[in-house]
Amino acid sequence: MMNKNIWNLYKDSERGQKAIAAFIFDVDDLLLEKVNTIFDLVEPRGLDTENKDYFLENFFVIFENILADSLLSEEKETLEDFYNRLIDTLELSEVCEDDAGEFYKPENSKPFVKRGDYKAIASLVPELSLFLYIYYPGQFYPIIFPERFDYLISSFDVLGINLPPIPVSTNKRGRLIFYLELCRQLAEFAGNYALSPAETCACLYDFAGMLESADTPHRDLPEPTNIWLTGGSKEDYDTFLKTPRKDATSVWTCNENTRRGDIIVMYVRSPHSCIQSVWRAATDGVFTPFNYYNGRTTVVDGTVVPKITLQELRQHEFFRDLPIVRKNFQGVNGVKLSAEAYSELQKILSLKGFDISILPQLYQPELAADVIVKNENDVEEKLLIPLLHKLGYSSGDWTRQLSQKAGRKEKAIPDFVFFPTGERHFQNAPLVIEAKYNMDSNAERTNAFNQALSYARMLKSPIFAICDRERIIVYCEKNNQFDRFNPAFEKHWPSLNSAETFNELRQLIGHDQING
């Protein structure tokens, strides 16, 4: 939750006043200057200055097209009706300006973004949202982290704003509706704290970043369970990939289902056209709903390997039949690589004299033969509860059907709530665990985290965990925040057979620690 005292100090400071002023639009303002000011404010937290001109160009294209087609809201039209009409009819093409300063579209002009191309329109939400904010402040808000949606998620978490359910990646129109839901949550937040639209934006893009923990502790990566390909350009090679610094990190397009710890094989495009390095994913893949490419991850621990050229792969008995090789690595970002393919790559590297023992190896956990997990109940009964018993708990230490008051409504908390205390419907608990059958996709993981986070906030729990058929993940509160991108513990179930790993978990959520 936002601390009002800290907010008031920030709001009255020179920094706060500057940030708030950046989001106040007056009739006489020059739009280019104002947008530049916002861009400069937000750039340190997620806007790449190299994309500035591209952002500004798209912003004015959208601006001119909406005015040329008279798509502004109509009298007595609800916010939802206006927005749905806008996203269903918006079409982008060449626009001209007459001597009176009115915008119009030339006859027979062909659109470069067609009506109903929701994926393309969703990729322009950063620019579109700023336009909507200028015309309808307090109803719409700018969402201008095109590459780093994880920064926006972090801001929501820090400020205690509920993140709406993320749509599946195949639901293109759903991404645009997701933006409307974000605006509703921001409007509710603004109402709760009596914030103006400009103050709300300053909260989101500057104040929240100031509150984020700068001293995030290093966490060991979990074992890799997937291998993914991604691609870099000649410029990427020259500036980062050729000689990566120790502990260097970078953000790359990836498959949104990338898991923290996974192996990332880097292919550098023309003129190099080769596999060049191997990395680890430092974060889960983050679904970027307002970017043409769906996923991003941060990579670490880069190891440069002898180049394996496209020509070599085309001639290789195994790789020549691989679809991505046959396509000359077109669409390489986020392609899953099989364990067999990774093994074949390592054989090639060995023949080149490279020591493959320094490369990360795929972890393939196997449950005991008698543990068959088919649904969420199996996760609870066959994996989680046996673990809880080993951690010192008995069945009377948790509640499975706790009800809490959320405003005027009663909300059930169905999974595991430990040692609840207080009056009925208004209880607190030191630990909450939410079990799911499967969190393979980014949307499933994000929604599971959001659900557990809401329970933890409601119960004032300093620790919560989520788990599925593959792993258990523990989050600990620090400075009134839960860092979804840096869990305190994340391991596969079979890893808990290690005494060292089990003791690490016990120190976090063992019976004596939680009920001590």
Q: Which residue, among 147, 138, 130, 148, has the nearest Cα to 183 in the 3D structure?
A: 138
User: For the segment 298-344, what is each residue's pLDDT rounded down to a tens digit?
Assistant: 899 999 999 999 999 999 999 999 999 999 999 999 999 999 999 99
Two structure tokens written together for 436: 């799911």
Alpha helices in 286-441 (DSSP H): 310-315, 323-326, 339-351, 376-378, 385-390
Q: Is 187 helix (H, G, I), strand (E, B) or coil?
A: helix
According to the model, what pLDDT value does residue 294 have? 73
Q: SS3 string of 419-473?
A: CCECCCECCECCEEEEECCCCCCHHHHHHHHHHHHHHHHHHCCCEEEEECCCEEE
Encode the chain (516 residues) as per-residue pLDDT tens digits.
788 899 999 999 999 999 999 999 887 777 788 888 888 887 766 555 556 788 888 999 999 999 999 999 988 899 999 999 999 999 999 999 988 889 999 988 899 999 999 999 999 999 999 999 999 999 999 998 767 788 888 899 999 998 998 888 789 999 999 999 999 999 999 999 999 999 999 999 999 888 876 555 556 888 898 999 999 988 889 888 988 887 777 888 888 889 889 999 999 999 999 999 999 998 888 888 887 777 888 899 999 999 999 999 999 999 999 999 999 999 999 999 999 999 999 999 999 999 999 999 988 665 555 688 999 999 999 999 999 999 999 999 998 877 666 655 656 666 899 998 887 756 789 999 999 999 988 888 888 999 999 889 888 999 999 999 999 999 999 888 899 988 999 999 988 988 888 989 999 999 999 987
According to the model, what pLDDT value does residue 69 have? 93
Residue bearing tokens 């806007």: 47
Which residues sit opposite 15 in a β-bridge?
none
- Please give the backbone phi and psi of residue 266, each rounded to the nearest 5 degrees, phi first: -95, 125
Question: Distance (Å, rounded) from C-alpha 296 to C-alpha 256?
Answer: 7
According to the model, what pLDDT value does residue 252 have? 86
CA distances from 173 to 112, 167, 170, 180, 287 (A): 18, 9, 9, 11, 15
CA distances from 284 to 98, 229, 298 (A): 50, 15, 8
Question: Distance (Å, rounded) from C-alpha 72 to C-alpha 65?
Answer: 11
Question: Distance (Å, rounded) from C-alpha 126 to C-alpha 404?
Answer: 37
According to the model, what pLDDT value does residue 288 have? 82
What domains, with CATH codes, occur in the chain? 4-211 (no CATH), 227-352 (3.10.590.10), 376-515 (3.90.1570.30)
Question: Distance (Å, rounded) from C-alpha 317 to C-alpha 102?
Answer: 63
User: For the segment 336-395, what is each residue's pLDDT rounded down to a tens digit?
Assistant: 999 999 999 999 999 999 999 999 998 866 555 568 899 999 999 999 999 999 999 999
According to the model, what pLDDT value does residue 24 have? 93
